[in-house]
Structure 1
């Protein structure tokens, strides 16, 4: 478990220098298993709200077959998840990195099915907010199994731009997903043990590879910011008023 100032300084230094940090040993097995079970139940739920929040991220998937399903805001659907040790550990670590309160902004779960070629295109999370919303945030990518290049670990560009790059729709069949027009050729693969997580910022250029393994690659992603979620809306309104 992380607990000392040396760890905080190392994580902060890596994020500032490389745009990300891979940290093992953040969560206990029992805590991770609890969150995995809750998200599994939501991901497979047939409830009306879940059906609206679950969508396919893959390009041209077969009909009625999930390839890379995404469930938005599972923490908003489950009080147990919001109060889980995994969520609380991430929020506490984010607050330590900010040296201020860390506000929940967003979360989603992404499952890559076994023996599939679906990737998550290279992008910056800031692209989904636009150039006028400036709010520093830390994003935790939490796998529910050991991850490497062999099953869809996170990839981080070796050369991080430090500013928002132009983005466009990643796939014609899935216009919601955004991608940079010129993907990087060199990257770091954030290999992690079960119980670890990778951390990156809203401007970090990242993506994931395919999952040719025989098991589902499951990940929960949680965003925490220096400012509460309503701050984004205020900045969007201010940008409109200036036009």
Structure 2
């Protein structure tokens, strides 16, 4: 199962692939990320780095987080905080988290994020939900710089369509969200107690450290941050 096409990634979309629930997950992830990045114009060396890094994440998902839910591979691009490709592996097991720097680089079981951190620009992990259903879980991710040939946005993105797309992205993952717009097309989406403003200048919302702002082209990054915030709050408020 998959959603999206590689071409969608250049215009704010994403690809989500279902991986096997067996040791072939790593091989499948390598094939998928290589094909996706070739279609997007990445250099061979960068693709090779991505294959090694995603193999590590997929191995972790299979070895340390086996469950009835199949892992997923997600790919999208963001322009803030930097122009990067974001590659994530999702699984439904929240009891096991990777620990960066505590593993031998030659560890055949893929413990830790040492290999990934050595290859990627950034790495991380967070609570989230599946992009193919509404299952809660976690994802482990890394980023790589976008190629110089990456297209720029050819036209301004209107806030109303961006708001509608964000609302659809959240609801499709089981996140209860509502929205309203004014005569100028400026929208406000509400998820729990969080208000997300959608204006020509971008998405914005308030967090404990101030305001978070993302360009409208960064729809997938924005949706993922909101889903992660919602899942984190729910997890820590469990009885």
User: Could you tell me the TM-score, scaled by structure 2's length?
Assistant: 0.26
User: Could you tell me the TM-score, scaled by structure 1's length?
Assistant: 0.26
